[in-house]
Structure 1
Amino acid sequence: MRGQLGMWPFRRSNKQVAVPTLTVDTTEGDPTARALREAGERRDWGAIRDLLTPVTDPDEHAFYLWALADVDGLQDWIGEWIEAEPRSTLPVLVRGAHAVLWAWEARTSARASQVSQDQFKEFWRRLRLAENCLDEVIDRDPDDTTARTFLVTSARGRQVDRTEADRRFDEVVTRHPWHRIAHEQMLQYRCQKWYGSHEEMFEFAREAVAKSPAGSALGHLVVVAHLEKWLDLPVGEDEEYLDDDAVRAEISAAADHSVRHPDYRRRPGWASVHNTFAMGFYKVGDLRSAAGQFEVIGDQVTAWPWQYSNRNPVIPFVACRDEAMAAED
């Protein structure tokens, strides 16, 4: 799942674990995403334009924009590109996408009660900049699903009502019905920790998966919903919730419809989907299925969802992988 904005505190563990040597690759091993980040870090907007222009698939385009938008300091030079190519919407889109992630950087991942007024003011200022840019892109190119997807993301920060949030999401899926990042972000909006409830969250996830074609990556939404509920429960009740045959069966069915279906194909951003299934299977005690996901993943650990267990996601990833793979021996 794309960098979970507004993360709540993780589940702490009393176990002392040595820090492994793996690192999180924000590009998920994708060469185009890596090239985009490198171009952003050296402020080479010409290379960015050349890398992004050929990308026509909405899911891939959004994934690549997210990878680029997370580059530090982009706000310091993006204006040069906008001035150099005023007729292009791409640099405006890049500025808007970056400003969404930049806004959450100002807010931090703490709960609202722990965020200062100055942090909130800067958060909202950056979100206004983001939405102004994204709205401009849409005015000039109404079918730009990436701009609309980042507006789904910013909906939580702007505290828009359900009608507006649904409208933003619908504008994406009417153009690309199974847009993964848009679904991921709308699921977050419907979480109890934001503006929804557990019931609304599960209704959204289950309906999306049921309607999605066989082999769709959207199957992981069901896993996310169960992990979100697990995280919200008191210690003791949380593990009891996951030790349930119905939860185990639903996650397994989602995998059969998704990553374990013969029609499934790995596409840019695939690693976070498999990491989510790996954590889900591990948490419900299905170590054989978890091992199957870890075999696909290899060393391609992603921050989401492991950062829900530890601020250093590599630690729970390696611990769970070792246990799952040992159970296979």
Structure 2
Amino acid sequence: MGDPTAQALCEALRRQDWRTARDVLIPVTDPDHHAFCLWAACRVQGVQDWIGEWVDAEPQSTLPLLVRGAHAVDWAWEARGDAWASRTSHEQFREFHRRLTLAEDCLKEVVARDPDDTTARSFLVTAARGLQVDREEAERRFYEVVARHPWHRLAHVQMLQYRCAKWFGSHEEMFGFARTVAAEAPPGTGLAHLVSMAHLELWLKLPEGEDDQYLQQSEVLEELHSAADRSVRHPAHGRYPGWPAPHNNFAMCFALGGDHAAAAEQFRRIGDMVTQLPWAYLDGDDPGTPFAQWREKATGGWG
């Protein structure tokens, strides 16, 4: 997403150069930026094959454990795949659980040694879904993050996912959480975009034909505009690490909702910073294709 620190970290991890990775991460003190860098690092292939070298080389440091644990969360979801549970094999679930257990062990050791590490705690919120921890424990993990950094972006996104109907919540609970956060969070955090995520989650559940009609309803578009005004369209909403994600969410909502003027505004701000989600909902193999098609449609070709 255009963040040079995250890019440098990923490049170091691809080279298996943990010393450079360490030196990139140590100066990152902002909790949201730190979590974003680890989120990016999760997507580097093969880290699990050599990360033990870093852990053994610096046993007093929590940083290699954090990288190993955060990466293992994404590695676990890779084993599970993207299919619904009914189409996921027992072998996939076993490997999913094994990798998540590794992630939990690493992340829990990090917070035991450094209780204020909000990045480790935010990834424990993610792991809570996969390990099917009870609601009380999942909420405890989330509140441990926000007690230290109240508007932590990654933790809020992951807690919204926990509250989705496809996991352990409901549409009503998901929207209640998104709307409460949107009303209370400072505009500069961008967290009002949780409302767009909630509408996309409901859109995903609807049959083809009804899905786009849902986003085209006047009350839905009105709420999306209000959430955009409190996040991506607010003067305080700058280009923080990960900024393209909320813009992409609103672009897709407005585009499918038929408000091409509002979509065009978001496409103009995005430029070519297309994100995998939400566009992979339209084409899992090539998210850039639906992004480009809808940008062309919304902007008349000048986007």
TM range (shorter): over 0.9
Structure with more contact order per residue of length (Cα contacts < 8 Å, sep ≥ 6): 1
- Are residue 314 (structure 1) and residue 295 (structure 2) matched? no
Residue 215 of structure 1 deviates from its aligned partner by 2.8
Matching residue of 1:251: 224
What is the CA distance between 1:237 and its match in structure 2? 2.1
Counterpart residue number, 1:325 = 299
Report the AA paired with residue 263 of structure 2: A
Mapped to 1, the partners of 2:55 and 2:25 lie a distance apart of 15
Residues 86 and 225 of structure 1, relative CA distance in 2, 3 Å threshold: same
Structure 2 counterpart of 1:91: 64
1:214 to partner: Cα distance: 2.4
What are the within-5 Å matches in structure 2 for residues 42-121 of structure 1? 42-121=15-94
TM score, norm. by length of structure 1: 0.90
Residue 37 of structure 1 is matched in structure 2 by 10
User: 1-side partners of 2:24 and 2:32: how far apart?
Assistant: 15
Q: Give how far 1:60 is off.
A: 0.5
Letter in 1 for 2:32: D
Q: Match of 2:269?
A: 296
Q: Confirm or deny that 1:155 pairs with 2:128.
A: yes
Distance in 2 (CA, whole Å) between partners of 1:77 and 1:216 is: 35
- Aligned pair count reads 302
| Corresponding residue of 1:9 | none
Within the candidate set 205, 219, 237, 2:210 is matched to 237
CA distance in structure 2 between the aligned counterparts of 1:39 and 1:328, rounded to whole angstroms = 37
**C-alpha separation in 2, matches of 1:49 and 1:202:** 39
Deviation, 1:327, is 8.5
Structure 1 counterpart of 2:193: 220
Q: 1:15 is matched with which residue?
A: none
Structure 1 segments, 4+ long, off by >4 Å, are: none
- Is the Cα–Cα contact under 8 Å of residues 99 and 127 in structure 1 kept in the other structure? yes
Tell me, yes or no, if structure 1 residue 271 matches structure 2 residue 244: yes
Supply the distance in 2 between the matched residues of 1:297 and 1:240 (Cα, whole angstroms): 25
Q: Is the 8 A contact 1:103 1:126 kept in 2?
A: yes
Question: 2 CA distance for matches of 1:274 and 1:226?
Answer: 14
Q: Which moved more, 1:220-229 or 1:28-37?
A: 28-37
Code of the residue aligned with 1:246 in structure 2: it is E
**1:81-132 deviations in Å (ceiling 9; x for gaps):** 1111111000000000011011111111111111111111111011100000
**Counterpart Cα distance in 2 of 1:237 and 1:105:** 30
Hey, what's the Cα distance between the residues in 1 that align with 2:255 and 2:82? 25
Q: Determine the C-alpha separation between the residues in 2 that align with 1:239 and 1:299.
A: 24
Match of 1:19 in 2: none
109, 123, 135: which is aligned to 1:136? Answer: 109
Deviation at 1:262, TM superposition (A): 1.3
Q: Which runs of 5+ in 2 are unaligned?
A: none
Give CA deviations for 1:295-321 in whole Å, capped at 9, x if unaligned.
111111110110011111111100110
Q: 1:287 aligned to 2:260?
A: yes
**Contact 1:216 1:259 survives alignment (8 Å):** no
**Residues 158-185 of structure 1, C-alpha deviation per residue, up to 9 Å, x if partnerless?**
0111111111111111111111111111
Question: CA-atom RMSD, angstroms?
Answer: 1.2
Give the counterpart letter for 1:55 in structure 2.
Answer: V
1:137-216 matches, cutoff 5 A:
137-216=110-189
**Given that residues 65 and 106 in structure 2 are in contact (C-alpha distance below 8 angstroms), is that contact kept between their aligned partners in structure 1?**
yes
What is the one-letter code of the residue matched to 1:107? R
Cα distance change, pair 248–327 in 1 and its aligned pair in 2 (3 A): farther
- Structure 1 residue runs of 5 or longer lacking an equivalent are 1-27
